[in-house]
Chain A
């Protein structure tokens, strides 16, 4: 496995998602979960991210971006965040091995000293999550704020949440089914 960027840092990447490595909660590391339906397009996530991590208010330097589309009168707003992929292409393809996985948060983080600013990570990421910062010339991406993402705190509607990877899909399932339950229960659907 030598040369595989995923396993090269600590040689035990899989353990990151073992409950044993997730501290006392008994849960896997949390992930940044997006529920675009709840997004109001306020972009506080962007501004908060840039202020917390870049000491200025500048969406261009934020690690989260709300893509806004407007078709006639219809507005859609979708936050784009780093998915911290299990098989992260950015990490795999980085020729300088400047990206590694944080053992606590499971975030893929940038070692700026190693980074060449070659933009490979930008090109291979399917989500456009990493960027080469125009001021520093180095790759920059979401590091989950060391396990306490600022963007989530500023999302007033819960479009961004920070939940355990184990729980993520169950929350989604419950949200999806709630309308169904109401429908099935008919008039009895009080208090759902």
Chain B
């Protein structure tokens, strides 16, 4: 066992059953861990020709050096592969306690290649690594699968990542699930695991994580915990979670915002989507991932509907996006998504897409397996969800392949005049075919976040201060004074970062690129360290690069500076970007749906305001690419940038492919 690291990468070829290990150390200095090492492994192993659902795709599960330690939020596993949704990078992050357990077993990463002959699950107990028959587990829900595996391994302490029926059926929005509600959800990682015939990864480790200087490491972790607990937002987050915040987002008009919602004039026609009230009525406990003082998950027992957890965006997706105002129905749907192992976000946005087309009269039930896709219909939402998971009807099979496939299916069956002469894809809320969050892209920085996001979504490049500025004036439970102070705080934060007076103004374009650029670096840092990005300034909990640097220095017994970390985070992003460009992504792919341009927010507090035009987005992209060192014309990292970050081998590879900007024919020494 090496300091802070398990020390080994477990590399398994499922086709042959061959198990090898590689040293983590070769990657660790430049890429730290987690998403950083995953990105490097991906660059070396997948490309434009890789079939996302074929055996040549690889899927990597990565922990970081701070996973499993006393550093707050030590629970994160970063999952990366080529995406069946975007055909670019798939990347999702899952908490719980699996990451820590893998570290305790002596491994930092698990990489799976090939395809098993029949369903298997991986069992790791310290250095004993086995592929076990999982044919009897096939078809099981995520919760049943965990229970059965723990029972048959006779060890309730085993930690399990698994897929549900959606992953088995390679529904492109399938997740990798753990515990209750811990889920690597976005961009189809569950489908890739299903394509490899892997039902689960079960891990038990007893080895612990070594630290070079226990006292100094302890001190560094205490400082980090104290910083989180001392943050202004901590108290509310730790007691109410994000229930109240989500409610404020809806009231502000920036959640679940799109064309599909223009028709919803009344915020809450039946007065039933009061999330704080639902929490008060049925919530019984808060739980969280390993190592977390925030515990963001709300635990519910709802009579007649059983137990489950909810958090964050779950409240606003299968409600507002599909005009469902029944909290009990939402609860059932959230639970169903967890059990089946399918992404809530994508499911909601997919169903919204179909309901929108149905509402406009472009499609009818002859194309939806007889399901009347009316807004808010319980039968329609359940029907479409189950069809997507099981793929047992033509409609379900098409939905499961994603927005583009669905649009093509409709286009081929609906006469052009009924579609207004355009493709039904024009109605899809997607970026590179990835269904968008409920978060409104009509906010300046959010549009940029969506456009340049690492996996074609905005979440790591979210300008949360802007979000908060928009929401604070309507925040429930706060005094007017508190609200004003919050807005001022956000303005000041933006000013401090950019030196620009109006950078905090949601309606200004000033400084937005720099804020998004900076946020991406910070969230990348936690993704590399194997900890939770919620603890950074992303959610106002204030963990800064210095906290990570101190803990890593003490734990590794060698100096790790803030600058090293920030550079590593940028390096990781350049590798990801280079990989995406290798797979075909260019500047023109960095965008939001055309229909969203130039439209203000359609309801709520900000009704009639905000909205970003195509020219404005292109302007922000120019600024952003310049800050990143990416080519303005193509969006590909330049030779100079790659060289500066020690990525000459990648520059060389891009040059050979003829896509390296600024390449003047020099030899990169390969």
Give the total of A residues in contact with B, Cβ under 8 Å: 30
Candidates A44, A61, A70; contact of B208 at CB < 8 Å: A61
C-alpha spacing A122/B515, complex, angstroms: 56
B536 at interface by CB-CB < 8 Å: no
CB distance from B303 to the nearest CB of A (A): 13
3 nearest A-B pairs in the assembled complex, by CB-CB distance = A58-B208, A73-B307, A74-B307
* Alpha-carbon separation in the docked complex, A48 to B291 (Å): 10
Subset of 22 A-B contacts with CB under 8 Å: A40-B288, A42-B291, A42-B295, A43-B291, A47-B69, A48-B218, A51-B221, A55-B214, A56-B211, A57-B211, A58-B207, A58-B208, A60-B104, A61-B208, A70-B179, A71-B307, A73-B180, A73-B307, A74-B306, A75-B307, A154-B225, A156-B229
Proximity bits, A142-159, B CB within 8 Å = 1, else 0: 000000000000101100
Q: Give the docked Cα–Cα distance between A156 and B72 (Å).
A: 11
Count B interface residues, CB 8 Å. 43
In whole angstroms, how far apart are the Cα atoms of A133 and B259 in the complex? 62
Chain A, range 45-96, C-beta contacts under 8 Å to B: 47-48, 50-52, 54-61, 70-75, 77
Given contacts A51-B211, A75-B299, A156-B229, contact A60 B206 (CB under 8 A): yes
Is A4 on the interface with B (CB-CB < 8 A)?
A: no
Q: How many angstroms between the C-alpha atoms of A6 and B379 in the bound complex?
A: 68
Q: Is the CB of A75 within 8 A of B180?
A: yes
Q: How far, in angstroms, from A60 to B126 measured CA to CA in the complex?
A: 13
Given contacts A50-B208, A55-B214, A56-B210, contact A70 B146 (CB under 8 A): yes
Q: Is the CB of A43 within 8 A of B309?
A: no
CB proximity of A149 to chain B, nearest CB, Å: 14
B102 in the interface (beta carbon within 8 A): no
Residues of B within 8 A of A37 (CB): 285
Contacts of A157 in B (CB 8 A): 238, 286, 295
A41 at the interface (CB under 8 A from B): yes
Contacts of B217 in A (CB 8 A): 51
Give Cα distance in the complex from A149 to B444, angstroms. 49
Supply 15 further A-B pairs (C-beta < 8 A) apart from A70-B180, A74-B180: A40-B286, A41-B287, A41-B288, A51-B69, A51-B70, A56-B211, A58-B206, A59-B208, A60-B206, A73-B308, A73-B335, A75-B299, A75-B309, A156-B229, A156-B295
* Cβ contact within 8 Å between B309 and A57: no
What 1/0 mask marks residues of chain B from 174 to 185 whose CB sits below 8 Å from any chain A CB? 000001100000
Q: Which residues of A contact B308 (CB under 8 A)?
A: 73
Bound Cα distance from A74 to B68, whole angstroms: 24
Q: A73, B214: Cβ atoms under 8 Å?
A: no
B208 and A56 contacting across the interface, CB-CB below 8 Å: yes
Inter-chain contact A40/B291, CB cutoff 8 Å = no
Q: Chain A, 129-170, contact with B by CB distance < 8 Å: what is the 0/1 string? A: 000001000000000000000000010110000000000000
Count CB-based A-B contacts (< 8 Å): 109
Question: Does B292 sit within 8 A of A, measured CB to CB?
Answer: yes
User: Which residue on A lies nearest to B301, using beta carbons?
Assistant: A74
Give the Cβ gap from A100 to chain B, nearest Cβ, in Å: 27
In Å, the complex CA distance between A43 and B104 comes to 14
Q: Decide yes or no: A47 and B70 within 8 Å by CB, A57-B208, A72-B307 being known contacts.
A: yes
Cβ–Cβ contact B143 & A156, under 8 A: no
B189-222 near A? 1/0 per residue, CB < 8 Å:
0000000000000000011111100100110010
Residue of A nearest to B218 (CB): A51
For residues 298 through 313 of chain B, which have their beta carbon under 8 Å from a beta carbon of chain A?
299, 301, 306-309
What residues on B are CB-neighbors of A134 within 8 Å?
Answer: 206
B210 to A, closest residue via Cβ: A56
Q: Is the CB of B179 within 8 A of A56?
A: no
Interface residue? B290 (CB, 8 A): yes
Q: Measuring CB to CB, which residues of chain B are less than 8 angstroms from any residue of chain A?
A: 68-70, 74, 97, 100, 104, 143, 146-147, 179-180, 206-211, 214, 217-218, 221, 225, 229, 238, 285-293, 295, 299, 301, 306-309, 335, 338
Contact of B143 among A43, A61, A72 (CB under 8 A): A72
Complex alpha-carbon distance, A70 and B177, angstroms: 14
Expressed in whole angstroms, the Cα–Cα distance for A74 and B100 within the complex equals: 22
Which residues of B sit under 8 angstroms from A54, Cβ to Cβ?
208
Assembled-state Cα–Cα distance A44/B338 (Å)? 26
Give every chain B residue within 8 A of A51 (Cβ-Cβ). Answer: 69-70, 211, 214, 217-218, 221
A60 to chain B minimum Cβ distance, whole angstroms, is: 4
What's the Cα separation between A61 and B205 when bound, in Å?
12
B214-A40 in contact (CB<8A): no
Measured between C-beta atoms, what is the minimum distance from A145 to chain B in Å? 12
Closest to B73 in A: A42
Name the CB-closest residue of A to B66: A57
Docked-complex contact B209 and A58, CB < 8 angstroms: yes
- A34 → chain B closest CB, angstroms: 15
B387 smallest CB distance to A (angstroms) = 23
Cα(A44)–Cα(B291), bound, Å: 5
Q: Give Cα distance in the complex from A40 to B309, angstroms.
A: 13
Give the distance to chain A from B565, nearest Cβ to Cβ, in Å: 20
Q: With the chains together, A64 CA to B207 CA distance in Å?
A: 17
Chain A residues in 8 Å Cβ range of B211: 51, 55-57
Task: Find chain A residues with CB under 8 A from B288 CB.
Answer: 40-42
Least CB distance from B2 to A in Å reads 12
Residues of A within 8 A of B104 (CB): 58-60
Q: Which of B69, B289, B292 contacts A57 (CB 8 A)?
A: B69
Output the nearest chain B residue to A54 by Cβ-Cβ distance: B208
Known: A42-B290, A70-B143. A57 touches B70 (CB 8 A): yes
Q: Who on chain A is nearest to B295 by CB? A: A40
Chain B neighbourhood of A47, CB < 8 A = 68-70, 74, 291
The complex places the Cα of A134 from the Cα of B208 at a distance, in Å, of: 12
Complex Cα gap A61–B146 (Å): 25
Q: Given A42-B290, A42-B295, A47-B74, decide whether A56 and B143 contact each other with a Cβ distance below 8 A.
A: no
**Do residues B206 and A44 form an inter-chain contact, with CB atoms below 8 A?**
no
**Roughly how many angstroms separate A57 CA and B104 CA in the complex, as a whole number?**
9
Q: How far is the CA of A131 from the CA of B207 in the complex (A)?
A: 16
Contact (Cβ within 8 A) B309 A73: yes
Which residues on the A side are within 8 Å of B301 (C-beta)?
A: 74
In the complex, which of the residues B69, B291, B301 has the most CB atoms of chain A within 10 Å of its own CB atom? Answer: B291
Contact A73 B306 (CB under 8 A): yes
Q: How far is the CA of A40 from the CA of B293 in the complex (A)?
A: 9
Residues of B within 8 A of A154 (CB): 70, 225
Which B residue sits closest to A38, measured CB to CB?
A: B285
- In angstroms, Cα B223 to Cα A140, docked, is 28
- Inside 8 A of A71's CB, which chain B residues have their CB? 307
Residue of A nearest to B181 (CB): A73
A73: B residues at CB distance < 8 A? 143, 180, 306-309, 335, 338
- Chain B, residue nearest A61 (CB): B208
Given contacts A42-B289, A74-B307, A75-B287, whether A52 and B218 have CB atoms under 8 Å apart is yes
Q: How far is the CA of A102 from the CA of B46 in the complex (A)?
A: 61
Interchain nearest-CB distance for A111 vs B (Å):
23
Residue with the highest number of chain A CB atoms closer than 10 Å, among B70, B209, B289: B70
How far, in angstroms, from A114 to B382 measured CA to CA in the complex? 65
Kindly state the separation between the CA atoms of A182 and B192 in the bound complex, as whole angstroms: 52
Complex interface: chain A residues within 8 A of B207 (CB): 58
Q: Smallest CB-CB separation from B239: which chain A residue?
A: A157
Q: Which of B221, B293, B299 touches A156 (beta carbons < 8 Å)?
A: B293
User: Taking each of A48, A54, A56, which has the highest tally of chain B beta carbons within 10 Å of its own beta carbon?
Assistant: A56
Partner of A44, one of B180, B214, B293, B299: B293
Inter-chain CA distance A42–B290, complex, in Å, is 4
